[in-house]
Amino acid sequence: MTYETASLIGSVVLVLCGPVGVILVATMIGRRGVRGRSLQLFVVGGVLASVLIFCFGGMFFHRLIPPPYDPAFAGGRGLDLRGFIFVLAEMFGGCLTFVLTLVYGFVLGRKKRRRPAEGAAPEGGPPGDPVT
């Protein structure tokens, strides 16, 4: 596998790992029902994940997949942009994770507010009273 192929695969993973994780966690929360602090923890965790991806994802993948040695760039002559795709991927992946976290947080929050509380009275009366 060449460096170009490995860096392309790494950048796709960097872009998609955060949003896929956010979607999976939001789906699990939506199926179980939004209870207690699950929505708050989801939003805080998603924002924290997006910041970590945005700040450290590119450096991690650049260390994981280092560019091959090139004598033209070894002496400090020239501009080596071979790892720049990781910087672009971390920015896009972090922003996409942040936006999806806020969108799913809004949707799950609406779902939580729309669902009536357990044991609540139906439309205006105490539980057990017939509606006249």
**Percent with pLDDT over 70 in the chain:** 83
Mean pLDDT of the 17-21 span: 93
Confidence of residue 66 (pLDDT cuts 50, 70, 90): confident
Give me the domain span that covers residue 97: 3-68+83-113
Distance, first Cα to last Cα, the chain: 75
Quote the number of domains for the chain: 1
Q: pLDDT at position 70, please?
A: 77
Give a yes or no: residue 30 inside a domain. Answer: yes
CA–CA separation, 84 and 52 (whole Å): 18
Give a yes or no: residue 122 inside a domain. Answer: no
If one compares 34 and 100, the residue with the highest pLDDT of the two is: 100
Residue 24 scores a pLDDT above 70 = yes
Give a yes or no: residue 19 inside a domain. Answer: yes
Give a yes or no: residue 58 inside a domain. Answer: yes
Give a yes or no: residue 18 inside a domain. Answer: yes
